């Protein structure tokens, strides 16, 4: 006698179990994708924090390097009195004359363009807004050079180092400024970066 093969379909319970397993797998995949997206977003934010902080530092360093420069500097090197007469005002930190090893949170400086025009500049920290302010030329107001909606700057400091010598009967000081920046993400204050750099002014200060 031939055995009849009994054919059986998939039961409702088996279908529900398969659907549940499929949903679990899909949930796991979605969670993994969300983690990857969050990780990429965090990486992009950190990269931008570092890039923006470096850009601000470069702006400060490049402009400070010109402090005290003037077209007649080379011609006047052999004549300290003329050098003293032609040189722009010396930089000041927090409105005070530079003192070696005494830091401050703002710096003002001046230099002359190739046509002899005097340009004055200033960098400072707006602690309330967490932004860096730059004031140059004849502008009546300072300009914010950072994005306070994305990055909060918590510290800006200028530390002068003066190497003094004699030039005839005049005192000569070669000035180096150490600049320190501390910034953090506005959306995540635990992500913070600190940057240090140093600039030597082109010309010594005579007095």
Long-range contacts (CB closer than 8 Å, 24 or more residues apart) made by 113-121: 114/71, 115/71, 116/70, 116/71, 118/88, 121/63, 121/67
Q: Is 93 exposed, middle or buried (0-12, 13-18, 19+ CB in 10 A)?
A: buried
Q: Which sequence spans correspond to the domains of the chain?
A: 40-206
What value, to the nearest 5°, has the Cα angle with vertex 10 and ends 9 and 11? Answer: 110
- The C-alpha atoms of residue 123 and residue 100 are separated, in whole angstroms, by 19
Question: What does the DSSP 8-state code read for residue 194?
Answer: E
- CB distance 138 to 170 below 8 Å: no
- Whether residue 160 contacts residue 175, with contact meaning beta carbons closer than 8 Å, is answered with yes
- What's the pLDDT at 1? 45
pLDDT reported for residue 167: 67
Q: Which of 106, 153, 113 is nearest to 134 (CA)?
A: 106
Q: Tens of pLDDT along 17-68?
A: 777 777 788 777 778 777 766 666 678 888 899 999 999 999 999 999 989 8
Q: What averages of pLDDT result for each successive group of 10 residues across the chain (207 residues)?
A: 50 74 78 69 84 95 90 72 82 94 95 86 94 82 90 97 80 92 93 95 80
What phi and psi values does residue 20 have, to the nearest 5 degrees?
A: -65, -45
Burial 106-126 (b: 16+ CB within 10 A, else e): bbbbbbbeeeeeeebbbbbbe
Residue 78 to residue 165: CA distance in whole angstroms:
15
Using the CB atoms, write b or e for 177-197: b if 16+ within 10 Å.
bebbbbbbbbeeeeeebeeee
DSSP 32-100: HHHHHHHHHHHHHHHHHHHHHHHHHHHHHHHHHTTTT--TTHHHHTT-HHHHHHHSPPPPEETTEE--T
């Amino acid at each position: 006698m031939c055995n009849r093969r009994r054919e059986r379909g998939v039961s409702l319970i088996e279908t529900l179990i398969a659907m549940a397993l499929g949903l679990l797998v899909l949930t796991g995949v979605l969670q993994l994708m969300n983690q990857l997206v969050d990780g990429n977003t965090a990486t992009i934010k950190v990269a931008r924090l570092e890039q923006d902080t470096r850009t601000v530092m470069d702006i400060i360093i490049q402009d400070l390097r010109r402090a005290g420069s003037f077209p007649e500097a080379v011609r006047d090197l052999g004549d300290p009195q003329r050098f003293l007469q032609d040189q722009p005002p010396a930089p000041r930190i927090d409105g005070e004359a530079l003192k070696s090893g005494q830091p401050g949170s703002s710096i003002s400086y001046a230099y002359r363009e190739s046509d002899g025009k005097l340009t004055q500049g200033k960098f400072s920290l707006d602690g309330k807004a967490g932004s860096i302010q730059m004031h140059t030329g004849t502008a009546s107001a300072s300009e914010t050079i950072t994005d306070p909606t994305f990055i909060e700057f918590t510290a800006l400091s200028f530390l002068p180092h003066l190497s003094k010598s004699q030039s005839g009967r005049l005192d000569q000081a070669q000035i180096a400024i150490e600049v320190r920046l501390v910034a953090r993400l506005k959306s995540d204050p635990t992500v913070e970066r600190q940057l240090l750099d140093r600039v030597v002014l082109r010309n010594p200060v005579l007095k």
